[in-house]
């Protein structure tokens, strides 16, 4: 009951922070005014206000997309760390991010983004899945999928694709700034079209993971113990990796590469509710959403009108916290 109250409290905090985020920017809007306009929009009342376009066309889609991406990355991190039994695992460890970044880089070099964000998104999505297929086939041994080989293959592909991105920037200096900005993450181009694609996928896959909490808990005891308890470890790994990779590929294709959320959010959630995935997954969902919302709000306001890459903000907060976790574990 205490954990449920805490989860409800976090949801209320997320809604409050969302409303505050909508009011913050170069055009300051009162929270009561923003709430009134949103309510009138929901009930279908005609609105005559100069803030309508700012709220509904610019800030609201950005806030919703940031919440969705943060939630998806938090949940992916929790399940990856669970199935790999590795606290260093995160959604990007299989090379998905570098594959998506390479795809987006190719779209930028070909100037396809001038024809619409759709092309960059598609190229990023394809790049992410090419990376996943490569890693999977490199790591597969017969019908088994050894964890250590999978992680090493992911690291290798990450380095390979990252070096290809670096070479692309050197050979196409005119596109360097756009490539760097995309690889550090941004919600500057957030739209309802992106939300319609990303939100259902993140919610559905997160819900599926939450239904699988018993198997994920059993996996934490090791592959052999899981087989003894009736859980097919390799089959579950493939199932989790596929669904998580779909979610992360879609996320990266619309937001760029945003690090540290999938790494640190599950750790924070474990400190609050423990290692049981029944509570860990919903808390990772809400905490990831809240963390990225706050980081994105800072990214677009801290040096306004200049916007900072949101990935840089998450790293500024995430890296010290992760160092603290490592230091704390060292002392234990």
- Reply yes or no on whether the pLDDT at 113 is more than 70: no
pLDDT at 223: 67
For residue 115, what is the DSSP state?
G
- Among 89-98, 221-230, 288-297, the range scoring the smallest mean pLDDT is 221-230
Provide the b/e sequence for 134-147 (b: ≥16 CB within 10 Å). bbbeebbeeeebeb
Condensed to tens digits (0 to 9), the pLDDT of residues 48-95 reads: 667 778 888 888 899 999 999 999 999 999 998 888 777 777 777 778
Residue of 196, 229, 195 whose CA lies nearest to 214: 229
Assigned domain for 58 exists: no
pLDDT at 229: 72
Assigned domain for 38 exists: no
Tell me if 271 sits within 8 A of 82, measured CB to CB. Answer: no
Provide the b/e sequence for 203-212 (b: ≥16 CB within 10 Å). bebbeebbeb
Q: What confidence tier does 317 reach under pLDDT thresholds 50, 70, 90?
A: confident
Compare 328 and 261 and report the one with higher pLDDT: 261
Burial-class residue 181 by CB neighbours within 10 Å (0-12, 13-18, 19+): middle
pLDDT at 85: 76
Assigned domain for 200 exists: yes
Assigned domain for 2 exists: no
Domain span holding position 159? 63-331
Assigned domain for 278 exists: yes
pLDDT at 59: 86
Condensed to tens digits (0 to 9), the pLDDT of residues 67-78 reads: 999 999 999 999
Residues 6+ apart with CB under 8 A from 169: 105, 175, 176, 179, 180
Integer Rg of the chain from CA: 20
What is d(CA 310, CA 43) in angstroms, rounded to the nearest whole number? 33
Residue of 209, 314, 294, 290 whose CA lies nearest to 9: 290
What is d(CA 296, CA 210) in angstroms, rounded to the nearest whole number? 27
- Reply yes or no on whether the pLDDT at 116 is more than 70: no
pLDDT at 331: 60
Assigned domain for 249 exists: yes
- The Cα-based distances of 310 to 101, 227, 267 in angstroms read 15, 42, 21
pLDDT at 139: 81
Assigned domain for 48 exists: no
Range 201-221 average pLDDT? 89
- Helix and strand numbers, DSSP H then E, in the chain: 15, 0
Condensed to tens digits (0 to 9), the pLDDT of residues 134-144 reads: 888 888 777 77
pLDDT at 329: 66
For residue 230, what is the DSSP state?
T
- Among 17-26, 109-118, 149-158, the range scoring the smallest mean pLDDT is 109-118
Q: What confidence tier does 114 reach under pLDDT thresholds 50, 70, 90?
A: low
- pTM of full prediction above 0.85: yes
pLDDT at 48: 67
Compare 98 and 62 and report the one with higher pLDDT: 62
Residues 6+ apart with CB under 8 A from 275: 217, 220
* Average pLDDT score, the chain: 83
Compare 187 and 238 and report the one with higher pLDDT: 187
Range 109-119 average pLDDT? 71
**Tokens 């490592």, residue?**
326
Domains contained in the chain, number = 1
What is d(CA 73, CA 62) in angstroms, rounded to the nearest whole number? 16
Compare 9 and 54 and report the one with higher pLDDT: 9
For residue 294, give the CATH number of its domain.
Answer: 1.10.3470.10
Assigned domain for 301 exists: yes
Compare 307 and 88 and report the one with higher pLDDT: 307
């Amino acid at each position: 009951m205490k954990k449920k109250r805490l989860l409800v409290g976090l949801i209320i905090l997320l809604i409050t922070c969302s409303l505050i985020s909508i009011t913050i920017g170069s055009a300051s809007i009162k929270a009561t005014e923003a709430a009134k306009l949103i309510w009138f929009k929901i009930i279908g009342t005609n609105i005559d206000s100069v803030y309508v376009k700012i709220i509904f066309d610019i800030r609201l889609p950005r806030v919703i997309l940031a919440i969705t991406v943060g939630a998806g990355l938090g949940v992916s991190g929790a399940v990856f760390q669970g199935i790999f039994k590795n606290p260093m695992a995160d959604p990007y460890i299989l090379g998905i991010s570098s594959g998506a970044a390479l795809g987006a880089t190719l779209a930028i070099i070909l100037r396809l983004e001038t024809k619409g964000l759709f092309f960059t998104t598609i190229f990023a999505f394809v790049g992410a899945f090419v990376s996943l297929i490569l890693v999977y086939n490199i790591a597969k041994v017969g019908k088994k999928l050894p964890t250590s080989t999978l992680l090493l293959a992911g690291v290798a592909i990450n380095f390979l694709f990252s070096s290809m991105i670096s070479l692309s920037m050197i050979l196409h200096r005119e596109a360097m700034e756009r490539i760097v900005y995309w690889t550090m993450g941004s919600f500057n181009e957030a739209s309802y079209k992106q939300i319609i694609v990303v939100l259902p996928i993140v919610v559905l896959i997160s819900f599926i993971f939450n239904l699988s909490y018993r198997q994920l808990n059993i996996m934490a005891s090791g592959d052999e113990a899981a087989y003894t308890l009736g859980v097919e470890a390799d089959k579950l790994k493939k199932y989790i990796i596929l669904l998580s990779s779909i979610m992360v590929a879609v996320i990266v294709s619309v937001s760029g590469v945003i690090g540290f959320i999938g790494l640190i959010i599950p750790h924070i959630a474990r400190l609050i509710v423990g290692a049981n995935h029944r509570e860990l997954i919903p808390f990772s969902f809400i905490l990831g959403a809240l963390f990225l919302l706050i980081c994105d709000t800072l990214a677009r306001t801290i040096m306004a009108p200049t916007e900072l890459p949101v990935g840089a903000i998450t790293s500024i907060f995430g890296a010290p916290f992760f160092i603290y976790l490592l230091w704390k574990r060292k002392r234990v």
